[in-house]
Structure 1
Amino acid sequence: MTDPATVLLCYCSCPDAASAQAIAEALVGERLAACVNRLPGIHSTYRWQGAVSQDREELLLIKTTAERFDALKSRLLQLHPYELPELVAVPVQRGHAAYLDWVREATGEAPQDC
């Protein structure tokens, strides 16, 4: 079982900039991700419905925690235009401690106003 505080790097491909931007904004805005990097201009080759296909896509690199992953996955599946969206999460084994702490803080509960 993964520690809930484990930082995850998630990969998700999108068909275009508009859907990638909408997903990124929703995930960060809803504190499901601390940061989402958008990498435009990737070329994907894949097997789908018995045929080899190729498409241009935009790749999202999503930083979150294991604790927030299920909620992130649920929201991403609501927003994503693909029938079967790619979502792969890889636990971060090492990194800059202050950055990893920031990811945990940014995906935690929002501070309450006094």
Structure 2
Amino acid sequence: MSFLVYMTVPTQEEARSIGKELVSSRLAACINIFPAVESIYRWENEVQSSHEVVLIAKTSEEKVTALTQRARELHSYDVPCILSLAITGGSPEFLSWIENETR
């Protein structure tokens, strides 16, 4: 089974750095970077907002835990948003590519 791992980071540079590390170490087959999102959230008992960058990693089930751990090590936030979502359908050829690239 393949997974999408959704993350937010403060800058595009950090997104690129994390993305390159995850792909080069074969923890992710591919990273998509969305450079401009606005996040509204509660932190330290206050509603806050900030501009963030979204990363979506495509990986295999076997690599989700290692990818999450490595992303946490590279991340600048104290409590980073790193969420994994199982892919329940899609192009069989693409899903096979994800599995092959993360071996």
Same fold (TM > 0.5): yes
Q: Which residue of 1 aligns with 2:25?
A: 30
Greater Rg by CA:
1
- Structure 1, unaligned stretches of length 5 or more? 1-5, 109-114
Please point out which of 58, 63, 70 is paired with 1:75.
Answer: 70
Give 1:1-114 correspondences, 5 Å limit. 6-108=1-103
How many residues align? The count is 103
Give the alignment's TM-score, normalised by structure 2: 0.98
Give the counterpart letter for 2:56 in structure 1. L
SS at match of 1:102: helix
- Structure 1-normalised TM-score? 0.89
Question: Aligned partners of 2:80, 2:61: CA distance in 1, in Å?
Answer: 19
Q: Which 4+ stretches in 1 moved above 3 angstroms?
A: none
Counterpart residue type for residue 98 of structure 2? V
2-structure distance, mates of 1:97, 1:22: 29
Give me the CA root mean square deviation: 0.5
TM-superposed CA distance for 1:74, in Å, is: 1.0
